[in-house]
Amino acid sequence: MACLLITGGAGFIGSHTGVVLLDAGHDLIVLDNFSNSSLRAVERVAELAEVPLNQGAPAKEVPDLSGRLTLVEGDLRDAAGLEILFSHAARSGRPIEAVIHFAGLKAVGESVAHPLRYWDVNVTGSRTLLAAMEAHDCRTLVFSSSATLYGRPEQVPIPETAPIQPINPYGASKAAVEALLADVAGCSGLTDPVQSSPNGWRIARLRYFNPVGAHPSGRIGEDPNGIPNNLFPFVSQVAVGRRQELQVFGDDWPTPDGTGVRDYIHVMDLAEGHGAALNGLLAETPRLLTLNLGSGQGASVLDVIHAFEQASGRSVPYRFAPRREGDAAITVADPGLAYTVLGWRSRRALTDICRDGWAWQAANPHGYGETG
């Protein structure tokens, strides 16, 4: 199995993917600056995977990479820190063979208020990482992209060939990194979702839709800083009593119940999709893949509220508010290509999502901020 670097591996999707990759036999180096994540998440990943956690030094010091799971605190924009990490891994006889790249900022509203920060962290950070990878002949990358770069979709379900038309700085930063990856792979200007890479890179650009839920153990889950930006953690925090009610933005959308419809994918399905993407890249000749990861099924805001109430046995009070600027009525993936190319599809339904999400929130009402 491979030695992998996971950037942002202490975050929501990164921690769940870490469990999947450790269970598959890979060795992991987690690089995270904890700007929107928790050390406790990585500790619990070690617990779930039944491996010791080697809590390494800060990125500018030489880390101990002797274990199966090593945590290094550092920033992706720190070129010197990345050089130390890649160099030491190579000298230790365990060179980094591939990178799973989650690190970045992801709040749409915040990106509108602070666009320069988003371009710096998401784009400059990715460029710095790619430079370190190239310097050490590590040319396999799975990139955490986003369906937000589709903007207001013209076609639903949305295929990978849909126009790239982001409507906020977050989506624009993801689109910019995707363009950079195409340039690195030698595929500039090409639109086919599966391309051979003349430059010898193996890259998967995974466009997520709406990751939700939690590990079925209830030990790791989503723990956003401050007020949640997304529907599901807000619903779960209302159910557990942390917040009084939910605002539902718009009851007059052209959907069956008047509320917005989204494609919700269980975070464990998404984590397994990363494992499938990595396996697919390593097993084939160099290529650039662009794949949607979603369920292909739409659920409205009210569908989610009612399913969560049933799973939790709790009431989720809500009130309607005006539509938000930039929202779309329906956003649902066409995930068929991921099955064709990787043999991957989502397996868990909305009932599973709500059951596992409630198991996490009920056991951790204040997220990782409580002991246990």
Report DSSP letters for 305-343, one per residue. Answer: HHHHHHHHS----EEEEPPPTT--SEE-B--HHHHHHH-
Place of tokens 């009070």: 317
Q: Helix, strand, or coil here: 27?
A: strand
Cα-Cα-Cα-Cα torsion 300, 302, 308, 310, nearest 10 degrees, comes to -120
Task: Please give the Cα distance from 127 to 341 (Å, whole number).
Answer: 27
Choice among 118, 150, 170, 208 that is catalytic: 170
**Residue 318 annotated in active site:** no
**For residue 151, what are the CA distances in angstroms to 43, 88, 119, 160, 326?**
36, 41, 18, 13, 8
Considering only CA atoms, which of 222, 212, 210 is closest in space to residue 364? 222
Token pair of 208, please?
């997520």
Q: How many angstroms separate the CA atoms of 250 and 334, rounded?
A: 25
Residues marked active site are found at 170
